[in-house]
Each structure stands twice: as structure tokens, then as C-alpha cells.
Chains A and B, each alone.
Chain A
């Protein structure tokens, strides 16, 4: 018996050790991506607007397009992405162990994730905030009326913590129903097991548009109870790769600032604007600094589009979600999207 226990303990240690050990083999991320010829990207298995397979099985959404932009910048081909669907629990382990090169899965940038969990975050691709959705017939107009309500929430997310914080701050009580799978938590809500469903407001809109039996029967309450800056994450300790992912995002935002779109990018290569020339590689130098081809940003814009195009296609007026740009408009239009200077 004692020996058996010991063997069990050793095996457990071995499994844990191996899980953590595999990261040791991965070299600098850029070399790994080049040698594999593909960017491995952990995404949400099914969140409309961010990452969700279409009827042909191709991932569509803002996060999916961020992955494609990185592939375009690094490999010159936006199609060279391997999408790894990850639930809220798996996502950090996938990145920590090197199974994914980048985590673009509507992940909130927080202090602990940036430090203790061993990640670095690229610039925010979507400024979100947590909200509540309720059935219209419940007659609730404000989150402050939810005292005593049963609330559906996914575990292990900042959402779960904000929920508890909000009710504590307002001296209200609630009963959480914590379910891991998005499908199941949505089912529980729509079947009436919960009074309210809480997640990021973009997620609420996505769930309402894609899963509700009748979207008009549900309302999203006006309160925004948290800041949810969603950003792509990479492993700590590979600054080169962090730079590449960060400037991929900046390139998409910068292109929108300069009015470069996937449609006019070829004409823009002959632009007189020196910054446009630097972005598109017409005047060389910036690509080399990132250890990429000078056409890196051209490839992003040509194949994926600028931030505005990506937003409208996946979340905005040209999508089912029909979300307003809000905080995600360019800084020149009252939003928070701001690219650092390309020089």
C-alpha cells in the first residue's frame, strides 16, 4: 500500500513536471513560428464577433482576424494560422506551456495575469465592460434591482470576480450558478434557471444575437460594472515576439488613422505621406527593426484590413451584433484606439 502511494505521488509529480517542462523546449517564438510555417493561436471556441467557426468551419471574428494579421506580418500569408479552441481554463496553460504562440481569446488585461501568470499583453483590441442581460418580462430596468437574483456566470474569469465585487459594493445579495461551458451556461439562462446572465457586454450581445430563441425578449441592462480591456497575450520573456504582436495591432489601428484600407492599400504605397510610406514599407527600415519583411504591415492591411474594417465586419454595423464603435473608435473620433508613431 505504501509503495503504491509513493508510485502514485511520483506519477503525479511526473505529469506535473512534464506539463511544465515542455515549455523548456520551445525556442524564441519567432523562430518557432517560422520553422513551423504557421502561427498557433488560442481562440474562443465559439463567441460570435470574436472567434466562432462559420458554416465552413473557418473561424470568424475580431480575435481570429488579429491572429490572421499576425500571420500576415510574420509569414506573409494571413491563412497560415492554426486556431486552437480554448475554454476559459485551458487558455492560460496553453500559452504558458508553449502550445500556443499567442492568446487572442477575449482575455482581460489584469495586473496578476501580466505578472504572476507570466504573460505580456499587446495593445487592447477591444475595450469592453461587463454587463447583465435579463428576460424582458422580468421587468428589471437596472442591475441594482437584482437583489436576490440567481445569476449565471462562467468560472475562472474576471467576470466572476466583478460580479461578486459589484454586489458587495452595493450591499446586494445574489445566487451564482457557475458553469464552465459557454453553451451550458447560455442554456441554463435561456431555460430560466437564472434570472440574469453576466459577461462582457459584447459577449451578451453575441449570445443574444446567436443563441436567444427570440433576441427581442432579452434586454442588456445599462450598468457597466467593470473595465474589460481585451488584449492579445504572449508569454513573458520573449520581447521580440511581444513587439511583433503589439505592432501588428498598432499597424491595423495606424492604417485606419491614415485611411489605408484593404481596398486602397496598393494605391497608398505611392502616397506622399512619409508615415504611410514607412508603414507600408515604401521607405524601408521598420520591418527590419521588428525582424520582419518590410512588407509586413502592407500584408496585414491587404489581407486582413485595418482596424475599422475588421471591427465593422465582425462586431459593427456589417455584423449580426451591430455594436456601436463606442470606446473602440479612433482617438480622433472620441474613442481610445491610438497607434504609437511609426518611426
Chain B
């Protein structure tokens, strides 16, 4: 049949190239592509010519030079004697930290808000509505400043810091708390933890196959499997522990780990703001699952919670994931607003570097590529997840 049709078309003779829709669109695309390429080349050339005419340095040589400025919050070792490249890395890691934490917390809070919006409890659903409308309809920058001011005004000065637990200090300088000092055994505990996770996952898969059709194992069995191996390793290794406890200094505190008001304000604002959007996406996703599904689940004797967890949410996920991806992207990009309150994430560090070196085109290109890479990675992961959650059509 198909064979016949193609032969018939050949019999009619090939259309002239400008009448062939496929060729024509290819040609048009090529033309636009070349035009854009030429435009880009012209602009790049123009920029380069202007820069060299004005005697402004170009290129990426500056990355190896000493940064000479200090950064307050660093995940890796950094001092002003390190290079601009390392300063950028510090900023990038801070961005990744706040984005990852923000995405995780915003998802949880968003899910809660979305479910609350659909709750039969009038008060709860109204409260969720007010939350969504209030946060969705005010600028994020304003919210960041608000959180920052609140945190600074609410917290006492360092000399009269709150001490909710021994070794924990809450003040306008942030929250200081003790952290364990690294021991070689912790590496093995990590390995044991990974083993526990693998065992729990394996058990779950095996049970699902062997006991198909019957309810899965209670969740606590899996959760119990995860912390037991590292705990066993910890005890077998003689339970070595040494806490790095913060202590009071002349000005505030030293040692331990700290969360600055700037980081807290940024994270709180990002989470609260994005959760409002995610809540609406979750609500929309759940409403998109036909009523018949929950009615059928009820008819099978599932409780409302079970119906939600086992029937409705797995189907809603397919509707939720694509718009959720763009909320994640927004959150990662919005983290650049941290510059307003002084949390040294990628954009804030870049801003300093651009001004110290005067090479704003290079630094802004770098930071743009970094954000692009972060966004594309998030998209990729979410698309992979989406594919696994999507309905498999046979």
C-alpha cells in the first residue's frame, strides 16, 4: 500500500525544488541560520573592535589572577589569595546549595499547600488560598527584603543571643550550631548508608514482584533498613565523635557551623514564593485526575489517604511534572536576587569580579553559561523523571 503510494507520487514527477515543502523549509531554515550566524559574528566583531579601540582588555586570562576579595559563606576552602576562577566556583556551589535546598523544601511545602487548597476543611483551604494569592502576587525581591528585615529585627544582638540548646546560638549574626568533626570512619558510614538504601530498594522491588497484587510491605521496614547499617558501623568503630561547638568571641561566635540571616532570608523567600506556584500546580494536577478514579478507589475500600497516595497522585504526577520543571528553573534563576541582601551566590560573586576586573562581557558570559547549564541539567533530570512517570503506551 505505502509502496504503491510512493510509486504513484514518483510517477507524478518530482515537484520543483521551490514547490517542495520539505526542501523549502530546509532552505528557509538554513537562510535564517546563516543570517543569525552573520549577525552574531558582526556583533561579536563589533564588540571586540570597540573594546580594543578603547583599550579595554578582553579574554579570560583574569580567571587565573588572585581574587583578593573575601567571601563570607563558602562550601570549599577559599581565601582572598585564591584565583578568580575559584571564587566563581565558590559562588556556583552556593547557588547550587540554595537551589537544591530550595527545590526540595518548596516541593514539600507546595505539595502541602496544594493538598490544603483541596481540603474539605473550610478554614484550611481558605488559609491556603490566602497564602497562595498573597505570595504569588507580590514581588519576590520585596519578600526577600521582608524576610531579611524580619530576621534581623526579631533576633537579639550577639551578646544576648538565644541559647535554645547547649552550643546553639541564635542572634542577628545567624544561627550557630555544633557539627561533628570529620572522622575517617564517617566515610565507611557513608558506604554503609548507601548499602542500606540499596538493600531497602532491592527488598521493595523483590516484594513487589513476589507478592504482586497484595499490599506492599509497610514503609517503616524500608526506612528502618536505611539507618541501621551506618549505625552498626559507627558503634563497631568505637563510636568516635568530636563536636565542633561554637564559642563566644569578642564580637560574636566562632567555630561550629552557621546559617547567616542572608542565606536564611533568601531560602525562606524562595521556598515560600515558589511553593505558592507549586501548590497551584499540584491542585491543578489533582483536579485533572477524573473523579471516577477516586470513586473507584473508594469502592475498592481504600481510605482517602491511600486513594490519594496510590491512585490519584501517581496519575496527577504526569500533569504536574512539566509545569513543575519550570518552577524549579525559576527558583534556581531567582536565587540570583541574593545579591540584594549580600548572600555570596554566583551572581553576587560575578558582580564583584566584573567590577574588579572591568571585564563585564566575559564574566557575564560565564555566569550566563553557568545558569544555562544549571537550568538545562534541571530540565534534563525532570524530563527523565517525566518519561519514567509518563503513561507507557503500547
A interface list, Cβ under 8 A from B: 5-10, 12-14, 16-21, 23-24, 88-89, 92-93, 96, 112-113, 115-118, 138, 145-150, 155-157, 160-161, 163-165, 167-168, 174-181, 184-185, 188, 191-193, 195, 235-237
Contact = CB atoms under 8 A, between A and B. Distances in A.
B40 A21 contact: no
Contact of A177 (B262, B359, B368): B262
Contacts of B70: 160, 163-164, 167, 174, 176
A117 B157 contact: no
B23 to A, nearest CB: 18
Interface in B39-59: 39-40, 42-44, 46-47, 49-51, 53-57
Interface centre among A20, A161, A184 (most CB of B within 10 A): A20
A179 B356 CA distance: 15
B275 to A, nearest CB: 26
A237 B54 contact: yes
A206 to B, nearest CB: 21
Contact of B69 (A20, A147, A164, A236): A164
B342 interface: yes
A237 B361 contact: no
A12 B362 CA distance: 12
Contacts of B79: 168
Interface string B340-365: 11101000100110111111110011
A45 to B, nearest CB: 16
Interface bin, chain B: 35 or more
A155 B261 contact: no
B47 A20 contact: yes
A161 B68 contact: yes
Contacts of B351: 89, 155-156, 180
A178 B81 CA distance: 18
Interface stretch (B220-228, B244-252, B286-294, B312-320): B244-252
B47 A188 contact: no
B342 A89 contact: no
B252 A150 contact: yes
10 contacts: A10-B39, A13-B43, A14-B39, A24-B49, A89-B354, A112-B357, A160-B69, A184-B340, A184-B342, A237-B55
A64 B70 CA distance: 32
A105 to B, nearest CB: 13
A20 B46 contact: yes
Contacts of A179: 340-342
B173 interface: yes
B355 A92 contact: yes
A58 B119 CA distance: 58
B381 to A, nearest CB: 15
A16 B81 contact: no
Given A178-B348, A237-B55, A6 B36 contact: yes
A174 B251 CA distance: 10
Contacts of B340: 179-181, 184
A113 B358 contact: yes
B358 A235 contact: no
Contacts of B252: 148, 150, 195
Contacts of A195: 251-252
Contact of A155 (B47, B152, B348): B348
B69 A235 contact: no
Interface string B284-320: 0000000000000000000000000000000000000
A178 B172 contact: no
Contacts of B179: none
A176 B344 CA distance: 10
Contacts of A178: 72, 342, 344, 348, 352
Contacts of A160: 69-70, 352, 356
A118 B42 contact: no
A183 to B, nearest CB: 11
B339 interface: yes
A17 B47 contact: yes
Contact of B54 (A12, A118, A174, A180): A118
A161 B352 CA distance: 10
Interface in B360-374: 360-361, 364-365, 368, 372
A237 B54 CA distance: 7
Interface string B231-270: 0000000000000000001111010000001100000000
Contacts of A13: 40, 43-44
Contact of A88 (B157, B339, B342, B355): B355
B140 interface: no
Contact of B352 (A12, A19, A155): A155
B80 interface: yes
Contacts of B124: none
A115 to B, nearest CB: 7
B367 to A, nearest CB: 11
Interface string B196-207: 000000000000
Interface centre among A88, A156, A165 (most CB of B within 10 A): A156
Nearest to B261: A193
A10 B46 contact: no
A118 B358 CA distance: 9
B68 A21 contact: no
Nearest to A8: B372
Given A17-B43, A149-B250, 16 more contacts: A7-B36, A14-B39, A17-B40, A20-B50, A21-B47, A92-B358, A96-B54, A148-B249, A150-B173, A156-B352, A156-B356, A168-B81, A178-B352, A179-B341, A179-B342, A236-B55
A296 B299 CA distance: 95
A164 B68 contact: yes
Contact of B43 (A21, A89, A193): A21
B71 interface: yes
B153 interface: yes
A179 B56 CA distance: 27
A14 B49 CA distance: 15
A180 to B, nearest CB: 6
A155 B355 contact: yes
B172 A116 contact: no
A93 B47 CA distance: 13
A237 B51 CA distance: 12
Given A14-B39, A161-B68, A178-B352, A20 B368 contact: no
Contacts of B33: 6
Contacts of A163: 70
Contacts of A8: 372
A184 B249 CA distance: 26
Contacts of B364: 16
Contact of B250 (A148, A177, A235): A148
